[in-house]
Amino acid sequence: MPFEQTIRAAVSCEGVGLHSGAPVHLRILPAPAGTGIVFRRIDLDGFEIEAVGRNVARVSYATSLQKKGVLLSTTEHLLSAFIGIGLDNAIVELDNLEVPILDGSAKPFVELVTQAGLKQQRKKRTYLRILREVEVREGNKFIAAYPASGYSVSYKINFAAPIGEQSFEIDLARDLYQTELAPARTFGFLREEKAMRDMGLIRGASEQNVIVVTDTGVKNGPLRFRDEFVRHKVLDLIGDLALLGKQVIGRIVADRAGHAMHTALVTRLLRDRSLWEETTDISRTGERAAAMEMRAPEFIPSR
Ligand SMILES: [Zn+2]
């Protein structure tokens, strides 16, 4: 039976926010069992914002939390890293409004935490087990959650050339997060750069933290994976679903989704308590989940 975990000792890093361009120091501190992930704005008298669905604010090119007018932006890569390595409880101190983008992936956060190490706590980890399917559609965008025995994600994207169609599927129970997802970096189209800067976005973007996609290829290659784009979308999705406040037991399927669709699924789930249950028992699988699993083909992540 898995137990909750926190970080063994405080670690810190610094960087700039992708959208604000603001310099920021970040510290990850141990927290008691049952705390969850709590952001603390030390530039605002230690004001705390819990990383949970009810604090989701505006969501467009990144996911932001807001509580009593206090904003905390671009939480997805950090929260994704925490889910991926099984860090349940931590205080994340920041002295500005946006999480640093670092290299554009979740890898630096994974390395920070693994440097300090994880410490098992006395409380059994509570999971959110999907009991009934839930599907969200918006035009040609789609996202859904289905009952299953582990946590798996299947994602399909369809962007303009040269990215085109990519799909990726991963079983997170198989400890693949660190090698297959964490290093996948965020990306942007060079031809959209000016419009985004005019909107006050991507002020902190550089060739060191974003894969720059031109009409014909990648400006600042090489890529870390041939399908790095769709892998990054999976990384983002895991970070956004972290706002459920618990590790998920279920199968997530997304097609051309983005932060807005990801958080729409979080909201739908949190609103309808009949779609899921809390459990500490990961061995017991609902009859329906077992039946669905038998139909689901085994998959091997594509390279
Ligand atoms: Zn991202």
Condensed to tens digits (0 to 9), the pLDDT of residues 196-237 reads: 999 999 999 999 999 999 999 999 999 999 999 999 999 999
Q: Phi and psi of 95, rounded to 5°?
A: -110, 25
Q: How sure is the predictor about 302, in pLDDT bands with cuts at 50, 70 and 90?
A: very low
Expressed in angstroms and rounded, the spacing between residue 275 Cα and the centre of ligand 1 is: 27
> From ligand 1's centre to the CA of 236, what distance in Å?
5
Per-residue model confidence as pLDDT tens digits over 85-104? 999 999 999 999 999 999 99
Q: Over the stretch 122-141, which tens digit does the pLDDT of each residue have? A: 999 999 999 999 999 999 99
pTM above 0.75, yes or no: yes
Q: Rounded to the nearest whole angstrom, what is the distance from the C-alpha of residue 162 to the centroid of ligand 1?
A: 19
The Å distance, Cα 106 to ligand 1 centre, comes to 9
Report CA(187)–ligand 1 centroid distance (Å): 8
Which position among 19, 77, 259, 262 bears the catalytic label?
259
Give the C-alpha separation, 258 to 106, whole Å.
Answer: 17
Helices 76-85, 228-241: crossing angle, 10 deg rounding? 80
- Residues in the 5 Å CB sphere of ion ligand 1: 186, 236
259 given a catalytic annotation = yes
What's the rounded Cα separation, in Å, for the pair 59 and 264?
10
| CATH architecture of the domain with residue range 127-295 | 2-Layer Sandwich (3.30)
Say whether domain 3-124 belongs to CATH 3.30.230.20.
Answer: yes
**At residue 293, does pLDDT exceed 70?**
no
Two structure tokens written together for 138: 């918006």
Q: How many helical (H) and strand (E) elements, i.e. helices and strands, does the chain have?
A: 6, 19
Phi, psi of 30 (to 5 degrees): -60, 155
pLDDT at 142 over 50: yes
Confidence (pLDDT) at 285:
56
Give Cβ neighbours of residue 10 (< 8 Å, ≥ 6 apart): 27, 28, 29, 30, 116
The CATH 3.30.1700.10 portion of the chain extends over: 127-295
